[in-house]
Structure 1
Amino acid sequence: MIERIASNLGRNDEEPNIELAILLCKTKDTEGIKEIVQGLRDKKTQVANDCIKVLYEIGERNPELIAEYVFEFIQLLKSKNNRLVWGGMTALSKIVYLKPEEIYNDLDTVIKAYENGSVITVDNAISVFAGICKANEVYEKIVFKYILKHLETCRPREVAQHSERAFVCVNKNNSKEFLDVLLKRKESLTDAQIKRVNKLIKKIELEQHNS
């Protein structure tokens, strides 16, 4: 399967990688997927980059097929290759609901990547944090504070998107803290951003009213 990735076809676009991901999902070719995972360690940067693209595209469609490689994705967060870092975090965001314990047990690695990462790394880290929180109350007590701190301090243009990513872990026990942060940040947002945040606020207020 490795011969079908973009760089091995002499291509510079991502279409072959997406097509390969779709094929591997359709056939549930676990041996083929294993071969792509092994490609993450290839000395050729473009090969490794293509492989992580294939893997998180599989995760988007069928996360069960890549969940067993959770530790490989965590290791990518330590890479000097930024493409592999944000690709690894993206893959983790797809499987966090299947492997929350494994990811939580290496939380320090995730946090370090989040703190030093690119925009895409941070985006997906918020999804990973939210998935961990949703999985377990004990995890939530540790990890939810990172979500709140992020929403308090991130750039205004990120508030709406990251609030939406985090919303999956908002519950009756933590909704007040979440709501307080959103209300504080509204004054720095554009009308379009406020509209998105208001949808979340209304959902929280409705839940509070019904509980």
Structure 2
Amino acid sequence: MPIQDQLAFALDRNDQEPNRLVAKQIVDAGGSKEVKELISFIKSKPKQRAQSDAILALAYVGEQAPALLEDEAVFLISQLNSSINRVIFGSMIALAHIAHLQKEKLFDSLPQIIEAMDAGTVVTRDFGYRIMITLYQDDRFQEDMFLLILEQLMKAPSNQLGQYAERLIEVLNNSHLSSLIKVLEERRSDISNEYHVKRLNKNLKKLYKQL
């Protein structure tokens, strides 16, 4: 049976379990051939739901076995230009899972990634930010990535700011402490929700201790 005929849309299912099972089947088989089949299927421009399920299956593959998608970064980046939200965020999820394997390519593709983040869903932004954090950890890209990450922190919705700050703090170069503190202090006046204020204050307290 063709791999696409096992996806949720083909089984008239609205849940993700069939797509997860397809991904597990591909991973268990070490299935680069099946990955190519799914990509060819997406390129054939089937209906929106079919494209979405196929790209989400690839994202599940990337979660479990990133190496199977390592050579598909160019295709996944191209899908960030899709008009289908689920295709965009599925592609961003997949890219986040392979970012450590394709740092140079993703660094060169940051304009497309950031454009998709700015226009996309919460999921698209979150996984795009994960890509940025992965690139930040590479000394070759760290200074450029820090500035781009600060831009994301400046415009992040208050309910995302805490987790974004925490992801950066986990890998922060001490030379960037003061700049990060300054940005988070500036953002503190924007936030009215008590929980988000407490979370931000907790992050700032941790940073001040490291000065």
TM over 0.5: yes
Q: Supply the distance in 1 between the matched residues of 2:71 and 2:161 (Cα, whole angstroms).
A: 32
Within a 5 Å distance, the mapping from 1:1-211 to structure 2 comes to 1-44=3-46, 45-137=48-140, 139-187=141-189, 188=191, 190-198=193-201, 200-201=203-204, 203-205=206-208, 207-208=210-211
> For residue 10 of structure 1, what is the amino acid of its counterpart?
D
Q: Which runs of 5+ in 1 are unaligned?
A: none
Q: Measure, in 2, the Cα distance between the counterparts of 1:59 and 1:199.
A: 33
Letter in 2 for 1:161: Q
Do the aligned residues in 1 keep the contact of 2:73 with 2:95 (CA within 8 Å)? yes
Give the gaps of 5 or more residues in structure 2.
Answer: none
Count, aligned residues: 207
Q: Scaled by the length of structure 1, what TM-score is found? A: 0.86
Residues 38 and 166 of structure 1: CA distance in aligned 2, closer, same or farther (over 3 Å): farther
Amino acid corresponding to residue 145 of structure 1 in structure 2: L
RMSD, aligned α-carbons = 2.1
Task: Indicate conservation of the 8 Å contact 1:96/1:131, yes or no.
Answer: yes
Structure 1's 35 and 189: CA in aligned 2 closer, same or farther, altered over 3 A? farther
Identical residues among aligned pairs (%): 27
C-alpha deviations, 1:83-107, integer Å up to 9, x for none? 2112111111111111110111122
Q: CA deviation at 1:6?
A: 0.9
Amino acid at match of 1:65: L
Partner Cα separation in structure 2 for residue 73 and residue 199 of structure 1: 37
Looking at structure 1, the residues matched to 171 and 29 of structure 2 have their Cα atoms a distance apart, in angstroms, of: 33
Q: CA deviation at 1:168?
A: 4.7
TM-score (norm 2): 0.86
Taking structure 1 as reference, are residues 168 and 102 closer, same or farther at Cα in structure 2, changes over 3 Å only?
Answer: farther
